[in-house]
Amino acid sequence: QVQLVESGGGLVQAGGSLRLSCAASGRTFRNYGLGWFRQAPGKEREFVGTIRWSDGNTYYADSVKGRFTISRDNAKNTVYLQMNSLKPEDTAVYYCAAHPPEIRIATLINYWGQGTQVTVSS
């Protein structure tokens, strides 16, 4: 079992930045990718990006490439999502998830954090 707790959401103006944190614990989380997903009202939960914990390799959705960066702090068992140049369309609840690195479909993932709201005003 993997436990995940997100923090860092809030309200920011377009063009601004936020950093989200996901603290992970559990016996096997180091064998997973730690991914970020987001869900806006009335929309599907969509993949944002992921980091493979074992080696730090990252993969991002096209919509956030060049703006968002995922990193990790091994000592704190924490993964971060640095979000720059935020746009109103980035507004969503952001979730972190533990998953086999190649599985990036939300309905196939079992381990989720509680979510944190990100709101970007125009």
Q: Mean pLDDT per segment of 10 residues, for the chain of length 122 residues? A: 94 98 84 93 96 92 97 93 98 95 88 97 95
At residue 72, the pLDDT reads 94
Does the CA dihedral 79-98-24-28 come out positive or negative?
negative
At residue 54, the pLDDT reads 87
At residue 10, the pLDDT reads 98
At residue 110, the pLDDT reads 87
Cα–Cα distance for residue pair 2/30, rounded to 1 Å: 10
At residue 2, the pLDDT reads 87
